[in-house]
Structure 1
Amino acid sequence: MRFASLIATTAIAAALSLSTSAHAEGQIRIAQQFGIGYLILDVVQDQKLIEKYGKQQGIDIKVEWNSISGATAMNEALLAGALDVVSAGVPPMLTLWDRTRGRQNVKAIASLGSMPNYLLSNNPKVRTLQDLSDKDRIAVPAAGVGYQSRTLQIETARVFGKADYKRFDNISVSLPHPDATVALISGGSEINTHFSSPPFQYQALENKNVHKVLSSYDILGGPATFNVLYTTQKFHDDNPKTYKAFYNALVEAAQFIRANKAKAADTFIRVQKSKLSPEFVRKIVEDPEIDFTVSPQRSYVYADKLHDIGVLKNRAASWKDYFFEEAYAQPGS
């Protein structure tokens, strides 16, 4: 079952009250956000790969798919027990890892791929971070705490100093990528800047009034993991067969995408009911900057920098500190 809905913070409590108890082995509730950054999950869902690997272990796995916008809603749902696996950028996962150590012990399961996120603007005066003013408004999925905001904070700390890393939080607005893209392209609203992600950033850049200010790859020093999947220690330990089936499904889906990029693009359109043209989506999937892999890349840059500016209390020794051990079979950083 798939719910294409945006869950506002004020409505989360009601939604979570429907189901707060942990599921037994053989059931998994997964939530993803919007965009091509979740293509691995689209393939897993479309090909019923979790069910496939479950049957290989002698269990029938019931899979529930949910769509939620924003890391805040994801994290609250996971901690409330309404979801088993959630997805968001590396920073929101690290925040939960940091805050739940010794309790729920939230850790990452796998990467969903490395892809750049672009800071875009339709304000011709905004060419660098120094050009942003109180008159500008930056759209991000989760203001102050999400992947885009944390990435911006790291760069802001580098440019303006660690004490001023929240400099742009007060002009950031929480808005799902699809809505922010429409606002940026149409103009005329308070939103004139958007820290975007694929495919939305490419869609926006087709408009002559929109330009790129900065790439996350510039900030992180090269290709880096965008989204990750994560869960609690309890779900990991109590559901070994389900967890193994899920991880194996992710690995197969990543392999399928690399070997069948055109078919993978069609899967994205079908599963996410996208109105984008197949040619446009295939161009994104084939972009050499994008790598659909379960192996984390440069995730430790976030762990190191976010600890340095005080967002994380605990310092990770390596990426393995905040990933479950199944991921160790893959290379990582």
Structure 2
Amino acid sequence: MSLSKRLFPFFLPRRLAAIGLSLTLVSAGLAVPETAHAEGRIRIAEQFGIVYLLLNVVRDQQLIEKYGKAQGLDIEVDWTQLSGGSAVNDALLSGSIDIAGAGTGPLFTIWDRTYGRQNVKGVASLGNFPYYLVSNNPKVKTIADFTEKDRIAVPAVSVSIQSRFLQYAAAKQWGDKEYARLDKYTIAVPHPDATAALVAGGTELTAHFSNPPFQNQALENPNVHVVLNSYDLFGPNSPTVLFSTEKFRDENPKTFQAFIDALNEAAQFAQSNKAAAADTYIRVTGAKIDRAKLLKILENDQIEFTTVPKNTYPLADFLYRVGAIKHKPASWQDYFFEQAKAVPGS
């Protein structure tokens, strides 16, 4: 039985949704580009997992609206959820969204491709989180143990932060020329579906480069184990960020600043009150996760909620070195807007 048929129960609904999104984006791309809307509206795309918890807090407490009113502005906020950096990048470039939430991998890709044109840059970090590559194949102890019989789930093949982490690990293992060696084993599957398939077993999907809380839920199964921790590659780092176009930032300065202020308040709230943050995540996302288990994840010392980007540059430097991006950033400040440069990031 083929892989697609055996994974049918797990991710067909979202795959169909993704197809619908792709058709929409193609249509948008063929149409006349959307004109910039006036101050007072912002459209935000998030993905799956507690790495987007700051956005959950912003939404739950209506913080953008709060800071907009402080400037005499009534801001309309639209929220959407996508899966994978490719879909998020397409949505941003088509004019369907204003703020993109994705990994630093997709940020580097779109920053490079829009350099000197739309000038997409980072807005803020969403925090520091370890990402685990997990597997239910007992023979896979390290990345060197993957074979043609294995398939590794990632949000987006090649460009997602999980894919970029895997490429970085492959380069450390076999050299820069072999950085894409494991790409042929990766398939694009949303985190919830990949977790369900991995835990259930019985398919060619034997690994998942995940994020919290999905990696923690998978590890509750005794047949699932950690193959790689992203912190082993870079140390603590900001894998997930928010980014936007220069046009949106310049034409909507009050709305943009309200968004920044909202994020900063959300970060202080989440970092200082993990219990309330857990309640917010469950309430906003509707996640079916035990509150005590979620709180344990949030209280992990390796997780920090902050808008300050940390340790992002090593991956950017690597991607330039292997030719995945054409422009070499001199520092992390090259791919973040000025608002982020006021803080001691990296």
- TM-score under structure 1 normalisation? 0.96
Amino acid at match of 1:163: K
The 5 Å alignment of 1:177-188 reads 177-188=191-202
> By how many angstroms is 1:296 displaced?
0.4
Contact 1:157 1:309 in 2 (8 A): no
The 5 Å alignment of 1:45-64 reads 45-64=59-78
Which residue is equivalent to 1:77? 91
Which residue is equivalent to 2:44? 30
C-alpha distance in 1 between matches for 2:82 and 2:37: 20
Pairing 1:290–2:303 present = yes
The 5 Å alignment of 1:1-333 reads 7-9=17-19, 11-14=21-24, 17=28, 20-220=34-234, 222-333=235-346
C-alpha distance in 1 between matches for 2:325 and 2:20: 26
> By how many angstroms is 1:11 displaced?
3.5
Amino acid at match of 2:330: A
Moved more, 14-23 or 297-306: 14-23
Amino acid at match of 2:90: E
Deviation per CA, 1:204-248, whole angstroms, max 9, x where unpaired?
A: 00100000011011111x100010000000001000000000000
Which residue is equivalent to 2:10? none
Which secondary structure state, in structure 2, belongs to the residue aligned with residue 59 of structure 1? Answer: coil
Which secondary structure state, in structure 1, belongs to the residue aligned with residue 205 of structure 2? Answer: coil
Amino acid at match of 2:97: L
Amino acid at match of 2:18: A
> By how many angstroms is 1:301 displaced?
1.0
C-alpha distance in 1 between matches for 2:89 and 2:200: 32
> By how many angstroms is 1:312 displaced?
1.2
Structure 1, unpaired ranges of 5+: none
Deviation per CA, 1:220-279, whole angstroms, max 9, x where unpaired?
A: 1x1000100000000010000000000000000000011111000000001010110111
Deviation per CA, 1:85-129, whole angstroms, max 9, x where unpaired?
A: 111100110110011011000000000011010010000000011
Structure 2, unpaired ranges of 5+: 1-12
Amino acid at match of 1:267: T
Amino acid at match of 1:55: K
Amino acid at match of 1:265: A
> By how many angstroms is 1:20 displaced?
3.5
> By how many angstroms is 1:21 displaced?
3.5
RMSD over aligned CA atoms reads 1.5
Amino acid at match of 1:299: T
- Deviating beyond 4 angstroms after TM superposition, the runs of 4 or more aligned structure 1 residues are 4-7
> By how many angstroms is 1:196 displaced?
0.7
Which residue is equivalent to 2:3? none
Q: How many equivalent pairs are there? A: 329
Amino acid at match of 1:165: Y
> By how many angstroms is 1:12 displaced?
2.2
C-alpha distance in 2 between matches for 1:274 and 1:47: 18
Task: Report sequence identity in percent.
Answer: 55
> By how many angstroms is 1:9 displaced?
4.8
- TM-score under structure 2 normalisation? 0.92
Contact 1:21 1:82 in 2 (8 A): no
C-alpha distance in 2 between matches for 1:229 and 1:194: 23
Deviation per CA, 1:168-188, whole angstroms, max 9, x where unpaired?
A: 111101000000000110000
